[in-house]
């Protein structure tokens, strides 16, 4: 089916239909260089539909195809298979004020967290973090798949990830899978996976936003650079025994802000 025929052949194509057509078109472009202009046109139309549906709301057309020597090539992009699997599992994440450390200021819409010097006088809560400057998402995930994205542009030091809903809130906390955390970190310009021991990560391009892709039933959480579509790190073969929640941490007053990207 040609892209131009999609509307006539399929009254209401699903996102899966469009994604499958995109991949078919991209493969044809990669194999057949003689019709580059037609491929560009078809891919552009497909991507416009996908952008309208917020599937590729961060990545742009240049993330997927490139010109080299007058030919059109499909750019290797690890995020495509992941998007195909979980694009319909995007969830609406907001921050849970009852868990926020007193140094963390939340925006009115509960989508942004910023460090502030002076501790806030907040209501007492057994859910609140006291020694670890983080906040959890409101969402509790105990089955299925979920995906959310966090804008990290301008933020200098942070942790992002997931944790079980009953992690320790007081005293000394080591962020590691053994303690119910599966997270990545930016600190002093270096990126880390918070394994035990920690794993230093090689990042091709500094991410402006990070995509978190959780498959609860499969025991897998993966992190992607939504700026260039590259894979950052995956924790696999996890046996979750409790509900999982999104985790956000800022390290210091000059850390900047973390902002959850809205998903319409």
Q: What is the pLDDT of residues 127-136, one digit of tens each?
A: 899 888 999 9
- What's residue 119's pLDDT? 73
- What's residue 126's pLDDT? 82
- What's residue 130's pLDDT? 84
Calpha distance 197→202 (Å, rounded): 16
Query: Do 224 and 96 belong together in one domain?
Result: yes
Query: Do 47 and 129 belong together in one domain?
Result: no
Query: Do 203 and 256 belong together in one domain?
Result: yes
How many domains does the chain divide into? 2
Query: Do 124 and 240 belong together in one domain?
Result: yes
Query: Do 96 and 164 belong together in one domain?
Result: yes
- What's residue 121's pLDDT? 76
Query: Do 27 and 116 belong together in one domain?
Result: no
Query: Do 161 and 99 belong together in one domain?
Result: yes
- The verdict on residue 83 lying in a domain is no
- What's residue 154's pLDDT? 93
Residues of the chain falling short of pLDDT 70: 1-89, 263-264
Per-residue tokens: 38: 């037609």
Counting Cβ atoms within 10 Å, is residue 46 exposed (0-12), middle (13-18) or buried (19+)?
Answer: buried
Distance of CA 67 to the CA centre of its chain: 28
- What's residue 34's pLDDT? 47
Among the candidates 76, 97, 131, a domain finishes at 76
Full residue range of the structural domain in which residue 102 is found:
89-260
Query: Do 141 and 65 belong together in one domain?
Result: no
């Amino acid at each position: 089916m040609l892209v131009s025929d999609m509307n006539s052949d399929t009254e209401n194509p699903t996102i899966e239909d469009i994604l499958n057509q995109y991949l078919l078109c991209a493969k044809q472009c990669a194999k057949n260089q003689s019709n580059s202009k037609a491929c560009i046109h078809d891919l552009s139309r497909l991507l416009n539909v996908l952008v309208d549906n917020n599937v590729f709301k961060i990545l742009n057309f240049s993330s997927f195809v490139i010109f080299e020597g007058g030919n059109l090539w499909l750019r290797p992009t690890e995020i495509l298979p992941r998007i195909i699997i979980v694009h319909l599992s995007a969830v609406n994440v907001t921050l849970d004020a009852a868990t926020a450390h007193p140094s963390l200021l939340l925006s009115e819409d509960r989508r942004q967290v910023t460090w502030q010097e002076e501790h806030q006088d907040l209501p007492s809560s057994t859910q609140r973090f006291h020694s670890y400057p983080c906040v959890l998402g409101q969402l509790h995930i105990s089955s299925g798949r979920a995906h959310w994205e966090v804008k990290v542009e301008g933020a200098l030091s942070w942790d992002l990830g997931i944790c079980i809903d009953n992690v320790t809130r007081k005293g000394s906390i080591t962020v590691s899978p053994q303690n119910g955390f599966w997270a990545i970190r930016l600190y002093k310009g270096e990126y880390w996976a918070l394994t035990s021991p920690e794993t230093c990560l090689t990042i091709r391009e500094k991410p402006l936003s990070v995509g978190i892709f959780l498959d609860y039933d499969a025991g897998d959480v993966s992190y992607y650079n939504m700026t260039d579509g590259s894979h950052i790190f995956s924790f696999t073969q996890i046996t979750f025994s409790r509900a999982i929640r999104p985790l956000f941490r800022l390290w210091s007053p000059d850390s900047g802000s973390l902002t959850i990207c809205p998903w319409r």
